[in-house]
């Protein structure tokens, strides 16, 4: 019975919506309510299944879609790498700090979640815009004479994503690093390994599972990120989440929007499966 509740949850809130979207992606757009053609129609008293591939075909004819997919993957990959480079030292430092201060440090990591996500992204606009805090300070100090174009750049998107998703990198890494046995590093030092080598040979390989978990937790949502690139990002190159929303709400082309969503899902299936396999392996190792 207990196992049935998550299954029911997934069925109602994931599988059924997925089937609806999947089904719409094989329709054609029309001016009606609903704004897409039905898959099944009755002709001569018999049901006829009409699958339209036009939405998918359209994705590969207009370069907008392909370039948006590639751009999204690139932004997500670079952001994930930045999160890892910033998050790993932070997670390491928290895991190595004394036990009394760890809860406080973890609290500081989670604390930004207590304010609205949207508000935090808006705050970055105030910091990055032409007469924003950063430009004003730089000009006041005489470092620059004209305001730097920070907003509506890739840089702003990276900052927004890294800032928002960093905790998702830090927490699994911390959970991993915190369990490490300090004696192993002593053993490495005792056998002649300098601190950096001991880290590379002992700590890093053992934290691999944490790195993968944190990276996927950042990468997967970052690919479909909508709010951050819309508020902070370029206008000439949009991410796929924005494309999806524009198709739905601006163009009212539900089949193409659904096809966009299905292709995102296909792109993310590989990392998601990787993530699940890793989790299963860890569960087995824990036994």
Q: Does residue number 193 form part of the binding site for another protein (CB under 8 A)?
A: yes
Question: What's the burial of 214, exposed, middle or buried (CB within 10 Å: 0-12/13-18/19+)?
Answer: buried
Residue selected from 66, 70, 97, 186 as contacting another protein according to rule CB under 8 A = 186
Q: Does residue number 187 form part of the binding site for another protein (CB under 8 A)?
A: yes
- Residue 47 DSSP SS3: strand
Minimum gap (Å) between residue 287 Cβ and another protein: 12
Q: Does residue number 192 form part of the binding site for another protein (CB under 8 A)?
A: yes
Minimum gap (Å) between residue 198 Cβ and another protein: 8
Q: Does residue number 183 form part of the binding site for another protein (CB under 8 A)?
A: yes
Beta bridge partners of 47: 42
Q: Does residue number 6 form part of the binding site for another protein (CB under 8 A)?
A: no
What is the x/- site pattern for another protein, positions 235-264, by CB under 8 A?
------------------------------
Please say whether the beta carbons of 25 and 56 come within 8 A.
yes
Question: Which range in 144-152, 158-166, 181-189, 233-241 contacts another protein by CB under 8 A?
Answer: 181-189
Question: Which range in 18-26, 30-38, 100-108, 177-185 contacts another protein by CB under 8 A?
Answer: 177-185
Q: Does residue number 10 form part of the binding site for another protein (CB under 8 A)?
A: no
Q: Does residue number 287 form part of the binding site for another protein (CB under 8 A)?
A: no
- Residue 144 DSSP SS3: coil
Q: Distance (Å, rounded) from C-alpha 281 to C-alpha 117?
A: 33
Please say whether the beta carbons of 230 and 189 come within 8 A.
no
Taking the least distance from each CB to another protein, the nearer of 44 and 287 is 287
Beta bridge partners of 49: 40
- Residue 94 DSSP SS3: helix
Taking the least distance from each CB to another protein, the nearer of 82 and 177 is 177
Question: What's the burial of 118, exposed, middle or buried (CB within 10 Å: 0-12/13-18/19+)?
Answer: exposed
- Tell me which residue has tokens 């805090």: 133
Taking the least distance from each CB to another protein, the nearer of 167 and 210 is 210
Count of residues engaged in binding another protein, rule: CB under 8 A: 18
What is the x/- site pattern for another protein, positions 201-220, by CB under 8 A?
xx--xx--------------
How many CA atoms lie within 13 Å of 104's alpha carbon, on the beta-carbon side?
5
Minimum gap (Å) between residue 196 Cβ and another protein: 11
Give the single-character DSSP code of 114. G
As a dihedral over the C-alpha atoms of residue 89, residue 229, residue 231, residue 82, rounded to 10 degrees, the angle is 10
Contacting residues toward another protein, per CB under 8 A: 181, 183-184, 186-194, 197-198, 201-202, 205-206
């Amino acid at each position: 019975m207990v196992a049935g509740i998550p299954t029911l949850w997934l069925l109602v809130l994931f599988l059924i919506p997925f089937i609806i979207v999947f089904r719409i992606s094989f329709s054609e757009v029309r001016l009606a309510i609903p704004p897409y053609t039905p898959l099944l129609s009755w002709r001569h008293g018999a049901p006829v299944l009409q699958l339209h591939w036009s939405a998918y075909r359209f994705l590969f004819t207009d370069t907008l879609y392909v370039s948006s997919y590639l751009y999204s993957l690139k932004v997500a990959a670079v952001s994930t790498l930045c999160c890892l480079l910033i998050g790993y030292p932070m997670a390491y430092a928290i895991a190595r700090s004394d036990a009394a201060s760890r809860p406080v440090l973890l609290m500081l990591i989670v604390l930004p979640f207590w304010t609205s996500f949207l508000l935090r992204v808006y705050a970055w606009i105030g910091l990055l815009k032409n007469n924003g805090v950063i430009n004003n300070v730089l000009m006041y100090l005489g470092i620059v004479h004209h305001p730097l174009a920070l907003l509506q750049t890739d840089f702003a998107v990276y900052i927004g994503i890294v800032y928002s998703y960093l905790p998702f990198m830090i927490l699994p890494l911390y959970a991993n690093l915190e369990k490490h046995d300090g004696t192993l590093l002593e053993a490495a030092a005792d056998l002649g390994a300098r601190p950096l080598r001991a880290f590379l040979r002992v700590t890093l390989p053992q934290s691999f599972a944490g790195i993968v978990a944190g990276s996927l937790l950042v990468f997967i949502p970052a690919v479909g990120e909508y709010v951050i690139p819309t508020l902070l990002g370029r206008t000439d190159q949009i991410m796929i989440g924005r494309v999806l929303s524009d198709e739905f709400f601006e163009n009212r082309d539900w089949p193409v929007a659904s096809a966009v969503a299905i292709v995102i899902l296909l792109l993310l299936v590989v990392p998601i499966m990787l993530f699940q396999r890793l989790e299963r392996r860890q569960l087995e190792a824990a036994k």
